[in-house]
Amino acid sequence: MRLYNTMTRTKEEFKPLKDKVVNMYVCGPTVYNYIHIGNARAFIVFDTVRRYLEYKGYTVNYVQNFTDIDDKIINRAKEENTTEKEIAERFIEEYFKDADALGIKRATVHPRATEHIDDIIEFIKILIDKGYAYVVDGNVYFETAKFKDYGKLSHKNIDELMAGARVEIDEKKKNPLDFALWKAQKPGEPAWDSPWGKGRPGWHIECSVMSTKYLGKTLDIHAGGPDLIFPHHENEIAQSEAAYDQPFSKYWMHIGYLNVNNEKMSKSKGNFFTVRELTEKYDPEVLRLFMLMAHYRSPINFSLDLLDQAKSAYERLSNAVVNLKHLVNITKDRELSDEEKDLIVKFDEYKKQFEEAMDDDFNTADAISVLFEMAKTANANLNGNSSKKLVEYILEMFLKLSDVLGLSYKNAETEIEDEEILRLIEERQKARKEKNWKLADEIRDKLKERGIILEDTPEGVRWKRIR
RNA sequence: GGCGACAUAGCCAAGCGGUAAGGCAGGGGUCUGCAAAACCCCGAUUCCCCGGUUCGAAUCCGGGUGUCGCCUCCA
């Protein structure tokens, strides 16, 4: 298995520190608003990485933080005349709603910055003791010039960074590149006690501290959005490696940018979408499929038109599942014919292709194309006379591989328990037998309004739910 | 100024030295009471342009052109 490492800018053979365990840290959201589709891409992609690692038999310790204290949260609390804690709690809850809908599995641990203040303080003490940090008026800064490898992840030259510096001007810093580990309290802001006075942690410090606490001093994979490479991840490396003198992470993974209507997504342009507003109109799995149909490191463009394309594609996959489930219900168990044995071989080959695609730096686009080929082959070769065993084999494989991508086709559920609906379907079948097309069509329309689509096939009526 | 990415059919998008995957949209057909789903057939003599390396290049090298990103809070 190979994956692209931002640090070395090459695809490397993946070998975790411990044989079958992967310690993985993903930078999570700052909880001051609903997550947007840029966030969603990162979380969907790394959730898929995790799922595939688990599929391959690794135990994945997956940690994703919540930044629950920060300027944006403070501002929002002010605007709404409430507390920072309330804002954070609320949007953590909303995060889980969106993440669950998108099929993003819960992390092993979801640590929050404000619950690790003591650990953060201890960590800063180490940095001060080792001479990497200095205190000015209750603020503590990391002295970037002291860390010789500063810039190694983002491949930036520290002198040029300074030369081009549009970096914020802060008289307290020795150097514009230095960054805050601890921020002294400003009037009206929440604060915690520390050896340097009341204040709150800087942004970068929480990830260094919490990743180490839950996963150890050297991670296998550290991942996040592309805009975190510099300065966030660069700063994390500086802090952690300065403190512990060992590599902070073996592999660094970053996704590509997501643009909206060919423009950079930004609030000033007002061109960003939240996950919430999209999932009100689209099946969340459509969004998930959309994100995975391109390679995770490529920049992608988002638009509603493109999402509609993904929706059609998704329906093809989900229809294949409906059709297979229907066949499972109506086929009989019997020995496989020679042709059917050949099909088993063919599907085993598909599975192999899927794995090869994923093994090559998580090429989900290629993996998905295999799913489409599986759907086509199944549709073309299976029918009511097929062996049930065969149909089940294919369905199970299709669902298992889809699950690696986080696609469960929840809405392709074919079970219907509602007595009334079952009765209407019966009634319509009877009407059709009597060639009472008017009544049959009425019932079909009526059920459609209730989200049930009926399809008449040579092997009887088939139904599915739609949103 | 520094660093980097990308340019493949109407749209989206894989492929990264061996002769163009897949999806969407479109056209034609089969099946069907109708509908839906599905299946079959049709599309780039060609991968931004120009050179070069090679038996062979979308894939490697050089040079253009064009888009975009990072260097500032941001996934």
**Was A232 annotated as part of a binding site?**
yes
A438 and A389 inside one domain: no
- Give the nucleotide at minimum CA-to-C1' distance from A40: B75
Q: Is residue A408 predicted with pLDDT exceeding 70?
A: yes
For residue A131, being part of any structural domain is answered with: yes
* Percentage with pLDDT > 70 across chain A: 97
- Residues A417-436 pLDDT 10s: 788 888 999 999 999 999 99
Side chain identity, residue A438: K
Write the CB contacts of A53 (distance below 8 Å, at least 6 apart in sequence).
Answer: A22, A24, A60
Strands A133-136 and A460-465, bridge-based pairing? unpaired
A147 and A95 inside one domain: yes
What pLDDT, on the 0 to 100 scale, is given for residue A419? 85
A381 and A242 inside one domain: no
Domain boundary among A227, A255, A283: A255
Side chain identity, residue A417: E
What pLDDT, on the 0 to 100 scale, is given for residue A169? 62
> Residue A300 to residues A49, A291, A296, A329, A368: CA-CA distances in angstroms?
18, 8, 9, 40, 17
For residue A287, being part of any structural domain is answered with: no
- Residues A320-367 pLDDT 10s: 999 999 999 999 999 999 999 999 999 999 999 999 999 999 999 999
A127 and A146 inside one domain: yes
- Give the nucleotide at minimum CA-to-C1' distance from A377: B39
Nearest CA to A133 out of A208, A68, A65 is that of A208
**Was A455 annotated as part of a binding site?**
no
Report d(CA A3, CA A253) in Å as an integer: 8
A197 and A313 inside one domain: no
What pLDDT, on the 0 to 100 scale, is given for residue A351? 97
Report d(CA A46, CA A99) in Å as an integer: 12
Domain boundary among A389, A411, A433: A411
Total number of residues shown for chain A: 467
* Percentage with pLDDT > 90 across chain A: 86
The number of distinct structural domains making up chain A is 3
Å between A260 CA and B50 C1'? 34
Q: Is there a contact between A395 and A325 (Cβ–Cβ < 8 Å)?
A: yes
Residue with smallest Cα–C1' gap to B69: A257
What pLDDT, on the 0 to 100 scale, is given for residue A166? 54
Å between A381 CA and B32 C1'? 20
Mean pLDDT for chain A overall: 93
- Give the nucleotide at minimum CA-to-C1' distance from A300: B12
A8 and A142 inside one domain: yes
CATH of the domain at A368: 1.20.120.640
- Give the nucleotide at minimum CA-to-C1' distance from A204: B73
Q: Which nucleotides of strand B lie within 7 A of protein CB?
A: 1-6, 11-15, 21-25, 31-40, 68-75
**Was A269 annotated as part of a binding site?**
no
Å between A377 CA and B37 C1'? 15
What pLDDT, on the 0 to 100 scale, is given for residue A271? 80
For residue A77, being part of any structural domain is answered with: yes
For residue A267, being part of any structural domain is answered with: no
**Was A339 annotated as part of a binding site?**
no
Å between A41 CA and B73 C1'? 19
- Residues A43-61 pLDDT 10s: 999 999 999 999 999 999 9
Q: Is residue A104 predicted with pLDDT exceeding 60?
A: yes
Two tokens, residue A89: 């709690």
Two tokens, residue A92: 């953590």
Å between A162 CA and B1 C1'? 12
A87 and A170 inside one domain: yes
Residue with smallest Cα–C1' gap to B25: A309
pLDDT, mean of residues A97-111: 97
Nearest CA to A414 out of A449, A379, A450, A464 is that of A464
A323 and A448 inside one domain: no
A113 and A86 inside one domain: yes
Å between A424 CA and B72 C1'? 62
Q: How sure is the predictor about A411, in pLDDT bands with cuts at 50, 70 and 90?
A: confident
A444 and A398 inside one domain: no
Q: How many other CB atoms are there within 10 angstroms of residue A203's CB atom?
A: 20
For residue A373, being part of any structural domain is answered with: yes
Å between A227 CA and B69 C1'? 10
A33 and A137 inside one domain: yes
0.90 surpassed by complex ipTM? yes
- Give the nucleotide at minimum CA-to-C1' distance from A43: B75
Å between A277 CA and B41 C1'? 41
Q: Which domain holds residue A109?
A: 2-255
For residue A281, being part of any structural domain is answered with: no
A91 and A223 inside one domain: yes
Question: Environment class of residue A63 by beta-carbon count within 10 Å: exposed (0-12), middle (13-18) or buried (19+)?
Answer: buried
For residue A260, being part of any structural domain is answered with: no
Residue A20 phi/psi, 5° resolution?
Answer: -115, 20
- Residues A147-182 pLDDT 10s: 999 999 998 887 777 655 555 567 788 888 899 999
pLDDT, mean of residues A178-204: 94
CATH of the domain at A111: 3.40.50.620
Residue with smallest Cα–C1' gap to B15: A366
**Was A36 annotated as part of a binding site?**
no
- Give the nucleotide at minimum CA-to-C1' distance from A373: B22
For residue A152, being part of any structural domain is answered with: yes
